[in-house]
């Protein structure tokens, strides 16, 4: 039995063939509890009734794109599953788009064209290495800080924390 046998995944992409490719990759590693949506609006409907363990979605889609979908899941007043890990697939990997996705609350980003290894690595990351959660007036999502400084000895990690006299 695969380590992923009980993992439920929602795949969201407006390109049918991309959904087929992603679902084929997921099945190859033992994930069979898969649902598909062709856009963000359909995905929101699915998430109302089904609580996937992971959502894999495209950035660029009609109606509701991946960024807006993530914001609605993370911050929507009627969101039924705000903490679900989200992996965003995109061919738009310029810094601005990556930061926009991160700031919307995406857990991981995988570049298109996808490789099975990249997708599996991101899945393992969100399943096995759950990051802390941040909820503030301007951001809701996984902790965006990925580095742990080896010599760090306190609760504050930002440069501004010293200036505030908190250290």
CA dist., res. 162 & res. 94, Å (int):
32
Burial 86-116 (b: 16+ CB within 10 A, else e): bbbbbebeeeebbebbbebbbbbbbebebee
* Per-residue model confidence (pLDDT) at position 28: 93
Domains in the chain (CATH in brackets) are 8-163 (3.40.50.2300)
CA dist., res. 56 & res. 28, Å (int):
16
Question: Taking the model in full, what pTM does it have?
Answer: 0.83
pLDDT of 82 above 80: yes
pLDDT grade for 19, boundaries at 50, 70 and 90: very high
pLDDT of 139 above 70: yes
The answer to whether 58 and 18 are in contact (CB under 8 A) is yes
**What's the average model confidence in pLDDT over 114-139?**
85
* Of residues 157 and 134, more confidently modeled: 134
pLDDT of 51 above 80: yes
pLDDT grade for 167, boundaries at 50, 70 and 90: very low
Cα dihedral 35/39/43/21 (nearest 10): 20
């Amino acid at each position: 039995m695969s380590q992923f046998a009980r993992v439920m995944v929602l795949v969201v992409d407006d390109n049918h063939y991309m959904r087929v490719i992603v679902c084929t990759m997921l099945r190859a590693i033992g994930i069979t509890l898969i649902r598909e949506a062709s856009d963000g609006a359909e995905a929101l409907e699915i998430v109302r009734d089904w609580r996937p363990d992971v959502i894999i979605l495209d950035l660029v889609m009609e109606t509701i794109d991946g960024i807006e979908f993530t914001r609605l899941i993370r911050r929507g007043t009627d969101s039924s599953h705000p903490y679900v890990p989200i992996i965003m697939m995109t061919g738009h990997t310029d810094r601005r788009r990556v930061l926009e996705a991160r700031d919307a609350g995406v857990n991981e980003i995988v570049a298109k064209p996808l490789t099975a290894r990249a997708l599996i690595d991101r899945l393992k990351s969100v399943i096995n290495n759950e990051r802390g959660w941040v909820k503030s007036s301007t951001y809701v999502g996984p902790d965006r800080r990925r580095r742990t400084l080896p010599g760090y000895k306190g609760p504050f990690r930002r440069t501004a924390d010293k200036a505030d006299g908190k250290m």
